[in-house]
Amino acid sequence: MGIFDGLHIGYSGLSASQTGINTTSHNISNANTPGYSRQRVVQEPKVPLHSIPGDSGSGVNVSTISRIHDEFVYSRFRGSSSKLEHDQFTKDTLTEITSYFPDIEDNGIANDLKNFFNSWSDIAQDPSNSANKVTLAKSTEALTRDIKSTKKMLGDLQDRLDDRLATAVDEVNRIGKEIAQVNKEINKIESSNDANANDLRDRRDSLELRLSKLIGINVFKGRIRSHSDIDRSQTDQGTDYNINIAGRNIVDGASFHPIQLDRTESSPTSKFSSVVYVSNDNSSDQIDITSNIRGGKIGAIIALRGDGIDESGRATNSKIQRYIDDLDDFAKGLMDGVNSVYASSPQKKLETKIFDGANESTKLSTIDGINEGSFDLVVYDKDGNEVARKNIEIDEDTIFDDPTNTNKNSLVYKINKSTDDNGDNDGSNDVDDFFKATFGSRALRIDPLVDGYTIAMEDKGSNFAGTSQVHRFFKGDSASNIDLEDALKNNPAKIKANKAPVDGNNEVANLMVKLANQNITFGKENSQKSFNTIEGFYRQISSNIASDAAQSVRSYDATKALNDTIEQEQKSVSGVDMDEELVSLMKYQTAYQANAKVITTIDRMLDALLGIKQ
């Protein structure tokens, strides 16, 4: 080995030290760059010259510049970030919903209910006072207005979530397409010369993290390898890269397959969009993946908004829809309970609401709200005396009417049947002698046969009086349209407080006051029913929402603590430590100076050698 070989060895040391200084400088300048992984220069001796008495070294070689990255730690961080975003969005949304159900003094539906029943109490004390009836009308309108407003706010929130879903899906597609492009660039760089596309890999990891915050993803990176020369560094070899959402690959190496929003998948008339997977940009084949999406903001949106629409137009698997259903059950129970009591106030004739989809042979037990039980028809004369009372039983097979008059279990037949209601063996003073029932145009009518008599309906457990709205105080069928009956709204003086049609009777008003503390049935036949007071059921709704919101806060706090721990572990592996970098800088500076000294020494040796020749 000659003197020039020593010069070459010194130069290799200078070059390696310069690379180390440059890499350390790169680390320091990106110390505060989000997603940056610190890099390290890996050196190895060059192939020596094999000679006697032994190998003669030929200098140093920079084998690679590796980024310090633990794929397993990073995958945990990516997963915890996805759950944190999901929990935070859920927490923020449920916290907003709790503001729709205030329980503060002089505000909210609970206070409206209190004012409503207090107004009935005032009327019970003075049933002839028209001012009290005006107050009742106003308190009723305030109650129904707040119920409708709360239902609308919940519905509007569902609509806003659907809009946010569209924005989030667009962002998922943009990020997914960018990741596929980054993969293409990584493959191009790393396909030759054993190069490492470190900054591009950091860029891809940052995009993965952003994508995981939007939607739950599974990332598959084939052939994970460990760097034995760098402590705690594992990374993939850039092959077999896939990103999977709900069982479908949206990124397959350098290829990208988008997800889209579609309304026809959930319902042709639905205002909610479903998320569908498209295998390629020109494919007409769409696979609905909405119900399989978990994690991230989109997973939270779908869990809150719902993953589809059923035949009745309700969102399925939706937390918000459950609150809407509960509010509808509350409004329906309130209307049925009040209307059932109000039906006991007599009038000249009775007429039910129109039963949508019903006909003569429809079984009453199939109509939501009507139970097996009975009700009394009570007839009063002009002096307010009860002259006849008939009990009408409703069982599982009772129908509205049978034109052939052969089905004795029809409601019309039971009302019109000649019976000795008074038990006095007088066939001329019973209910069927004063009134007659008919069914037509999907409604039941009970009309007078003689003048001077009034009729009332007292429910005995069937809830027919309330559900049929035969003499209604409230109109509507849900929290969306609950309202005071138009005739009473336009003229509150028409509000009746009496049971017997005589001045000063306050029996209906007293029954309304008692209703506030009576347990009634809430809920539908196909859902879990609840037996509670009107205010108690509302308190149950607001308590459930408050409990869900509190649970979401606890879940977020726990996830945040776990995420912070994993993030610190991630930073400890890949983050830039300024003290460590300064030590490395000093090390490379010293090596550079030493190698420069070697070259200077060889230079002087050459000068001496040339001087000998002279």
In tens, the pLDDT along 366-416 reads: 998 898 999 999 999 988 899 999 999 999 999 999 888 778 899 999 999
Who contacts 44 (Cβ-Cβ below 8 Å, separation ≥6)? Answer: 60, 61, 63
pLDDT tens, 194-245?
A: 778 889 999 999 999 999 999 999 998 876 666 555 555 566 655 678 999 9
Residue carrying the six token digits 């979530």: 161
Judge whether 307 and 321 are in contact, CB under 8 Å: no
Mean pLDDT confidence for 511-536: 84
Q: Which of 38-52, 315-329, 334-348 has the lowest mean pLDDT?
A: 38-52
Q: Provide the β-strand partners of residue 584.
A: none
Neighbours of 442 (CB within 10 A): 16
- Using a 10 angstrom Cβ sphere, with 0-12 exposed, 13-18 middle and 19 or more buried, the burial of residue 523 is buried
Query: Among 473, 66, 427, which residue's Cα sits nearest to residue 233?
Result: 66
CA gap 449, 451 in Å, rounded: 7
Say yes or no to pLDDT of 267 above 50. no
> Across the chain, what does the average pLDDT equal?
89
pLDDT of 266 reads 47
Mean pLDDT confidence for 532-551: 93
pLDDT tens, 133-155?
A: 999 999 999 999 999 999 999 99
Beta strand 39-45 pairing with 60-67:
antiparallel
Cα dihedral: 149, 154, 159, 163 (round 10): 120
Q: Which of 65-74, 216-225, 334-343 has the lowest mean pLDDT?
A: 216-225
SS3 240: strand
Who contacts 501 (Cβ-Cβ below 8 Å, separation ≥6)? Answer: 346, 380, 382, 384, 454
3-class SS letters over 54-120: CCECCCEEEEEEEECCEHHHHHHHHHHHHHHHHHHHHHHHHHHHHCCCCCCCCCCHHHHHHHHHHHH
CA gap 70, 73 in Å, rounded: 5
Mean pLDDT confidence for 435-459: 94
Cα angle for residues 288, 293, 299 (degrees, 5° grid) = 130
| Per-position DSSP letters for 220-235, written without gaps between them | EEEEEEE-TTSTT-EE
pLDDT of 27 reads 94
pLDDT tens, 5-50?
A: 778 888 889 999 999 999 999 999 999 999 999 999 989 888 877 7
CA distance readout (Å), 278 to 242, 272, 296, 370: 16, 19, 21, 47
Neighbours of 469 (CB within 10 A): 23
Work out the percent of the chain whose per-residue pLDDT is above 70: 92
Tokens representing residue 266 in the block: 């959930």
pLDDT of 71 reads 87
Residue carrying the six token digits 């990020």: 175
CA gap 497, 481 in Å, rounded: 24
Ranges of H-type helices in 449-533: 464-468, 486-490, 507-515
pLDDT band at 269; cut points 50, 70, 90:
very low
Q: Which of 162-171, 222-231, 583-592 has the lowest mean pLDDT?
A: 222-231
pTM for the model stands at: 0.86
- DSSP assignment, residue 398? -
pLDDT of 268 reads 44
Q: Where exactly are the structural domains of the chain?
A: 1-68+575-614
